[in-house]
Amino acid sequence: MKKKCGMMIMNPLFDPEKDHARLDTAKVENHIITVRTPEEAVAKAVELADAGFGVLEVCGAFGEELARKMYDAADHRLTVSYVVCPPDQLEATMAFWMEG
């Protein structure tokens, strides 16, 4: 049986029904998952835990508080890590997202 892991990104413009992908290796299903709101993220974390996922990484926009809320909602059956930008690169990252 393959292990299941996910990477989740959030944007109100996503359509989770069509904006997703799956990349498999011999031993792991790697899923890219989209949500539009924090509430969808929490519900999706529970759904993923129920489907046998063991690991979920979320984009930095989620932050520690939402990542922990997702972990708790999934009854700790799914670890939830969040990606952050190194402090010395934060200004450049913010400039990228604020451009046009």
| The pLDDT of residue 20 is above 90 | yes
Checking phi first, is residue 87 left (phi over 0); if not, alpha (psi -120 to 50) or beta?
A: alpha
The pLDDT of residue 58: 96
pLDDT at 100: 61
Q: With 80 as the cut, is the pLDDT of residue 33 above it?
A: yes
Q: Is the pTM of this model over 0.85?
A: yes
CB-based contact 34:13 (threshold 8 Å): no
CATH architecture for residues 3-98: 3-Layer(aba) Sandwich (3.40)
Query: 57 - beta bridge partners?
Result: 7, 81
